[in-house]
Structure 1
Amino acid sequence: MLVFGVHNRLRFEMLAAAVFFLSCLIAAPAVGAQDVAFKQAVAEAAARDQDIAAFYQANAYDGIWTGSGRDRARRAALIEALDAASTHGLPAARYDLPGLQAKMKAARSARDLGLVEVEMSRVFLKYARDIQTGVLVPGRVDDAIVRQVPYRDRGSYLVNFVKSSPKGFFRALAPTTPEYAGLMKEKLRLEGVLAQGGWGQTAPSQTLKPGATGAAVVALRDRLVRMGYMKRNPGQTYDATMTAAVQRFQRDHGLAQDGVAGPGTLREVNTSMQARLQSVIVAMERERWLNQERGARHIEVNLTDFSAKIIDNGKVTFQTRSVIGHREAARQSPEFSDVMEFMVINPSWYVPRSIVTKEYLPELQKDPNAVNHIEITDRQGRQIDRAAVDFTQFTARTFPFAMRQPPSRGNALGLVKFMFPNRHNIYLHDTPAKSLFARETRAYSHGCIRLADPFDFAYALLAKQTNDPEGLFQAKLATGKEQQVNLKEPVPVHIIYRTAFVDPKGKVEFRRDVYGRDGRIWDALSKAGVVLQAVQG
């Protein structure tokens, strides 16, 4: 007895149905031989793909691309879309438009047309999914990108396409967000500048301060002019105009706005246009991964920007600085979306098992009174007597206790945490380590997101459900006891990672690739066939 896999069985059943249907057609004198040959070719070619086969079976094996009338409009719309694929940062070679057009031109018989018909549907499906939800599967590039991409049913693309205006259907596939539109505009702008020679020579790496003069200042000035931060002028002095230009550049790149061209600023100034273009293309791919409704009110944490924002109807209504996970692989903050349901005021910190065994157990083995600000509890939650335990007998695997830090101003979570329960055990919270927020790069946590202004963040969230959010919060805080406050309307949370993003004024800003993820995404896109190009204006 032969045993078929699910996929093969479906293909077999589709092909069998097609053969049976076509045998009926062949026996029917009303159907012309050309029509039968076309349908037979469609059935045979479609049988290799169960979604395409199901569509054509339901469509009585009629074509949607290769006839006249509406088919002509569909063909034109597909060719136009494929021709513009690279505009979206897609791998144009993947769809092989020249090869498809050659097959269309070479078709002479009804059978040839049937084969071309299915080939057009195959290319259409590949393009439609790529432009709507991305070329790559995020988790295959980096396992810390745990985003659930909103993939659509493949068969639905064909079903909905034949019911729609062809051009309108293609226009609606890509993300329709202002973010995506702004990124595409920047991509085209950079390609145009690249075709004209780019930003010119890099500036010397020596630190330059206001008042400096000489060739290094001229080189920096020329670079800033080409980048659009200064108007062309013959000056050789690091004057007030150049200082203001450097500050604008620093603002657009997430740097301390001190007006000094130090090592960090010069590294960003000298970053190549090709690298910036790669960041934009990667950001467009990331936007496709998140091509879904994000919530009229939602929270956005951009890891590379070290920021957390509340967004209402497309506008940022609250923003604060953040500290994110350390660069060390095990401590990096993951990317995902979830829903914030409540906040805990005066929280206890239940120490993650990884921290207990990797950091605290070795200290306890040296000194049982180490980390004495944290309680050690048994499986029933009862505090144990440290003096009665020989910690040296345990390994990371056998350590039987948990650890908890009670509510206090010195608590690792500060005085409030914001919960969107998830399998990654990631949340937003306060911190007693306020000095970290003054730093330019803020990757220090064990993965959770620390907020610079957690109380104001709480007030902004609670303002939707009470006329006195600050009073409500402070009353709970004054008890000194752990208090849970539910959000009457849960708020979606999107933890993203964008080294290129559009600011509220439509200008694209850039950030450093803190975890190296965008570099890995670009490498994968490049392998998939995405290429940089310079476009003549």
Structure 2
Amino acid sequence: MAETHAPLKRVDGPAIVVESMLGEPKGSEIAAAIEARVMADRIDMTLGKAVSPGAKEAARLAYAQGVFAPIWTRDAAEKLVDANATCKENGIDSGYTDAQIRAAIDARFMGNADARADGDLMLTATWLIMASKLSGGLSDEGGMVKSTMTGPTRSDLVVALRKAGQSDPIATMKEFSSLAPQYSKLRDALKTYRDHAANGGWMKIRDGKEMLEPGMNDPRVPALRERLKAEGYIQPAAFNFFMPVLDDLPETAPTVYDETLAVKVQAFQAAHGLKQDGVIGPATLAALNESVESKIDRIERAMNHWRSRSDLGERHIWVNIPSYRAEAWTGDRLDIAMDTIVGKKRTPTTAFSDEIEYIVANPKWFLPIGLFKRQKLRKLRKDPGYAARHNYVVYDRASGAKVNPHTIDWNEPGVSRKIQMVQTPGPHNALGQLKIIFPNKHSIYLHDTPDRHLFERDVRALSSGCVRLLDPVKMANWLTDGDEGVSTEVFNTTLQSRERERFYLDKHVQVHLTYLPAVVNPDGHVEFPADIYQQFKKPTLAKGTYPDDIVEEQEDLYVEIDGESGSRSDTLQ
């Protein structure tokens, strides 16, 4: 599927030129100097490989349409100084320093004609490179867009560039931001984690001789409490919208791992794709010890993904594989969110984008050869009756004829390629009631499952590669409700009849399977999924280690208060 940035709004009619703000009228020495540079392909030399060939062509067109007058007014150029801040808040390194931008502005308005021409081209290059990075790569190849009105036609990027140079380059640049619903949420999360970094981040919790479980008394508990405070899991409710548990802990014995603190740990585990048992084992300790800088890098990587994949489709389904969640969207409205089961480590679910074409009600299951060899062949060698008991029909691949499994030599070399096992439709079928198909070379699709109990697990990398849905009927009805060619009522009636039938969608719906290291969940909480397939960049560890708060046992201290004897047990903090 083509990768696109946020579509630009087309502006028809003649380009805007604020001559009083340019400093020079058309036809002046600076225009001649700009024309000479454009004709000598100075734009190519200035931009290099930083932008697409089409973006360079758009720059040439922008100057030519203005008869080579400067594009940049002083007011607009001064605003460009703030562009680095815009890039930073979007997780982008612009490649320019504020001093370099200021030098280009000075050259544009303070030098001779040649210097001013060079300054104008540098400002144009600066804006184009920043806009290209913000968009994930400008896909407008400079082609002309046909006007809906009488008058000249021009590419969207030409209009955007001239608008930037004569009014507000920051606002125009922001029009290139990703339209993906996740993008703005991740941008807010990035600010939150940069604030954590500015406040010092956090340190590591040392490893212990045993796992830390609720109810234990352990000198590492104060370190655990400080670590959770540092990331906002223990803070006043107004502190951070992106943390799932935000209320303060009550006073408790410093080294006792009580149930209240365990609830905070479970929230942390949920946000990191870990078993939510409150136990600080190796996986949870590793997640706690990941540095704030590493998490910032995760967020920036996720944002970079959405920059280059902004056009998800008006109606689309998104599955982030390590998050075990599928979401259905209409525009920027979340319609459905549900749990998923994804591929095991040895049979991973592949990340890719495609289009949903049809739904199969009451499907048969045609076992893939690899899965048959791994899971079924051994069982059939021991007992050919396994096939009938589990509702499998065996066919000869060459002739298509049905074969009695008791007549097959299951120890024959290559037998797995000679037969085809098919599981009949019904509640016993491994695909459940339905499957949602987007034909692809990976043989991956969305489907039901009879193994409903598996959704009770926190870690759900359990399938042979396809994505199992917690409520597949709800997802299928979302697809049929939005389609003119399929009746939801007829579809649901067919499901109940247990008759096998395909329902082709009149309008295909985009589906996106991703493997992202950071997401914002439907509740607004930022998550850092566990790397179930070891595809993320290796996390860095926090610097320094929290010291243990070892509490010495003391004898009761007897004091005399107002002439009466009393007992007071003091705890060293």
Q: TM-score, normalised by structure 1?
A: 0.74
Number of aligned positions between the proteins: 468
Q: Deviation per CA, 1:227-273: give whole Å up to 9, x if none.
A: 22233756322234313322332333344443443443333223222
Letter in 2 for 1:452: L
1:159 alignment counterpart:
159
Give CA-to-partner distance per residue, 1:31-65, whole Å, 9 cap, x none. Answer: 55554333212321135575425642564385889
Separation in 1, partners of 2:319, 2:482: 20
Alpha-carbon distance in 2 for matches of 1:63, 1:383: 77
Any residues of structure 2 matched to 1:140-151 within 5 Å, and which? 151=139
Please give the per-residue CA displacement for 1:113-143, whole angstroms capped at 9, x wherever unaligned. Answer: 3334334333333221211126xxxxxxxxx
> Is 1:212 the counterpart of 2:216 in the alignment?
yes
Deviations 1:406-438 (A, max 9, x none): 324333322311112334332101223444333
Q: Which residue number corresponds to residue 152 of structure 2?
A: none
- For the residue of structure 1 that corresponds to 2:537, the secondary structure is helix
- Cα gap change, 1:221 to 1:493, in 2 (>3 Å): same
CA distance in 2 between counterparts of 1:127 and 1:63 reads 25
Q: Secondary structure at the match of 1:85?
A: helix
User: SS in structure 1 opposite 2:341?
Assistant: strand
State the distance in 1 between where 2:419 and 2:130 align: 53
Aligned to 1:42: 38
| Pair 513,72 (structure 1): closer, same or farther in 2 beyond 3 Å | farther
Structure 1 176/80 Cα, relative in aligned 2: closer, same or farther at 3 Å? farther
2:233 alignment partner in structure 1: 229
Deviation string, structure 1 residues 284-309 (Cα, Å, up to 9, x no partner) = 112212212532x4322121111122
SS of residue matched to 1:308: strand
The whole-number CA distance in structure 2 between the counterparts of 1:59 and 1:268 is: 52
Of the three residues 533, 536, 539, the one matched with 1:518 is 536
Partner Cα distance (1:101, 1:196) in 2: 31
- Judge conservation of contact 2:59–2:124 (CA < 8 Å) in 1: no
* SS in structure 2 of the partner of residue 447 of structure 1: coil
SS of 1:485 mapped into structure 2: strand
- For residues 370 and 192 of structure 2, the distance between their equivalents in structure 1, rounded to whole angstroms, comes to 47
How far apart are the structure 1 equivalents of 2:353 and 2:344?
20
| CA separation of 1:184 and 1:465: change in aligned 2, threshold 3 A | closer
**How many angstroms apart in 2 are the aligned matches of 1:474 and 1:62?**
61
Check conservation: 2:105, 2:123, Cα contact below 8 A: no
- Counterparts in 2 of 1:168 and 1:365: CA distance versus 1, 3 Å: same
Check whether the contact 2:104–2:122 (CA below 8 A) recurs between aligned residues.
no
Find 2:74's aligned residue among 55, 72, 75.
72
Alpha carbons of structure 1 residues 102 and 31: separation in structure 2 relative to 1, 3 Å: closer
Q: What is the distance in 2 between the residues matched to 1:61 and 1:96?
A: 30
The amino acid across from 2:285 in the alignment is: L
Question: Deviation at 1:362?
Answer: 7.5
The equivalent position to 2:272 in structure 1, one of 233, 241, 253, is 253
Alpha-carbon distance between aligned partners in 2 of 1:376 and 1:194, rounded to the nearest angstrom: 62
Structure 1 position 197 matched with structure 2 position 200: yes
Q: Could you tell me which of 262, 266, 271 is aligned with 2:290?
A: 271
- The alpha-carbon deviation at position 344 of structure 1 amounts to 0.9
C-alpha distance in structure 2 between counterparts of 1:62 and 1:489, whole Å: 43
Q: Partner residue of 1:533?
A: none
User: Per the alignment, do residues 227 and 235 of structure 1 end up closer, same or farther by CA in structure 2, a change over 3 Å counting?
Assistant: farther
Counterpart for residue 428 of structure 1 = 446
Contact 1:65–1:71 (Cα < 8 Å) also in 2: no
- Following the alignment from structure 2 to structure 1, what is the Cα–Cα distance between the partners of residues 123 and 364? 59
C-alpha distance in 1 between matches for 2:399 and 2:113: 76
Residue 307 of structure 2 corresponds to residue 291 of structure 1: no
Kindly indicate whether residue 241 of structure 2 is the aligned counterpart of residue 241 of structure 1: no
- 2:118 is paired with a residue whose SS is helix
Instruction: Work out which of the residue numbers 155, 161, 168 in structure 1 matches 2:171.
Output: 168
- Unaligned regions of 5+ residues in structure 2, if any? 1-25, 143-154, 235-247, 541-573
Corresponding residue for 2:355?
339
What SS does the aligned partner of 2:253 have?
coil
The match for 2:87 is: 85
8 Å Cα contact 2:180/2:309 also seen in 1: no
Q: What TM-score, normalized to structure 2?
A: 0.70
Distance 1:63 1:361, change over 3 A: farther
What letter is aligned with 1:40?
Answer: A
- Contact 1:431/1:450, CA 8 A, preserved across alignment: yes
Give 1:305's aligned residue: 323
| C-alpha distance in structure 2 between counterparts of 1:210 and 1:234, whole Å | 13
| 1:242 alignment partner, SS class | helix
Q: Deviations over 1:347-380 (max 9, x none)?
A: 1223345546x64898699789597435234356
Change beyond 3 A, Cα 1:354–1:89: same
How far does residue 471 in structure 1 lie from its aligned partner after superposition? 7.0
Pick closer, same or farther for the CA change 1:470–1:55 going to 2, 3 Å: closer
**1:111 and 2:107 are equivalent in the alignment:** no
The separation in 2 between residues aligned to 1:106 and 1:56, in whole angstroms, is: 20
The aligned residue for residue 349 of structure 1 is 365
Match of 1:122 among 121, 125, 138: 125
Shift of 1:169: 0.8
| Structure 1 vs Structure 2 CA RMSD | 3.9
* 1:133 has 2:124 as partner: no
After superposition, the C-alpha distances for 1:188-230 in whole angstroms (9 at most, x for unaligned) are 2222222222124425454233322241222212222222223
Q: Which moved more, 1:361-370 or 1:82-91?
A: 361-370
Question: Aligned residues: percent identity?
Answer: 27
Distance (whole Å) between structure 2 residues aligned to residue 214 and residue 393 of structure 1: 58
More helix by share: 1
- Provide closer, same or farther for how the CA distance between residues 73 and 401 of structure 1 changes in structure 2, counting only shifts above 3 A: farther
1:464-511: CA deviations, max 9, x gaps? Answer: 579xx9975564235443122344654332222333222334332221
Distance 1:352 1:407 in 2: 17
Higher-Rg structure is 2
AA in 2 matched with 1:446: S
Q: Judge which range, 185-194 or 158-167, deviates more.
A: 158-167
Where in structure 1 are there 5+ consecutive unaligned residues? 1-29, 135-149, 524-537
Q: Comparing 56-65 with 260-269, which one deviates more in the overlay?
A: 56-65
